[in-house]
Amino acid sequence: MLAKDAATSTQPQLEARAVHLWRGEKHLLRGVSFALHAGELLQVVGPNGVGKTSLLRSVAGLLPVEAGEIFWQGQPLPAANDDYHRELAYLAHVNGLKSDLTALENLRFAVSIRRDVTTEELRDTLQLLRIESCSDLPVRALSAGQKRRVALARVMLTRASLWILDEPITNLDKAGIALFEARIADHMRQGGMILTAAHQLLLQGQPGVRTLELQ
């Protein structure tokens, strides 16, 4: 649930403390720490292969860290897992859409696992991202940017407070980026949080927007 009141809280909702991660022989994350408060966007930046995706996967609970801790609302993971996963929407590099289903069917399938949703709400969200004309087409018939927009619509529809997004604007054109930035700003205003891996920064210079540089 989005926590409007939490927007003014000084308590971090999500916190990583001295996280270490190895991939194979490589000591990738060396004591990474950050705090994310309600209403904030944190963009993880750094060169290819530095560990941005790995960090996001760890924070999403998909890749266990070897040292350090991750806290959700003051509780360490995995103890906080049930609450945490209810509040979390994760979007990877790949969209995770079923290509034989239509955009609308994909959204209905993904969202109804979490909550009741009406067809009108699904269509409204597709319209917000200007892909209403794709609603009834099989996903395999959509362009790369249109597929990304469907995947972003899914994130928006979850009503999760924390969005973890790996390069969310991949394949989006300028208009698509502007539309998505407006949705992010909206989410932040309602006390939502976003953690991204990014080569291209969103909402630069806006209040509550920060970067975390990995090197």
Ligand X SMILES: Nc1ncnc2c1ncn2[C@@H]1O[C@H](COP(=O)(O)OP(=O)(O)OP(=O)(O)O)[C@@H](O)[C@H]1O
State the residues that interact with ligand X by CB under 6 A.
Answer: 23-24, 26, 28, 46, 48-54, 197
Integer Cα distance of 2 and 212 in angstroms: 24
Q: Residue 49 Cβ, how far from ligand X at the closest point, in Å?
A: 4
Give the three-class secondary structure for 195: strand
Closer of 52 and 149 to ligand X (Cβ): 52
Closer of 28 and 107 to ligand X (Cβ): 28
Which amino acid does the sequence have at 178? A
Closer of 49 and 78 to ligand X (Cβ): 49
Query: 36, 15 in Cβ contact below 8 A?
Result: yes
Q: For residue 193, what is the DSSP state?
A: E
Which residue in this structure is represented by tokens 């995995």? Answer: 78
Which residue in this structure is represented by tokens 């249109």? Answer: 146
Q: Residue 166 Cβ, how far from ligand X at the closest point, in Å?
A: 7
Q: Which two tokens stand for residue 183?
A: 């949705």
Closer of 10 and 48 to ligand X (Cβ): 48
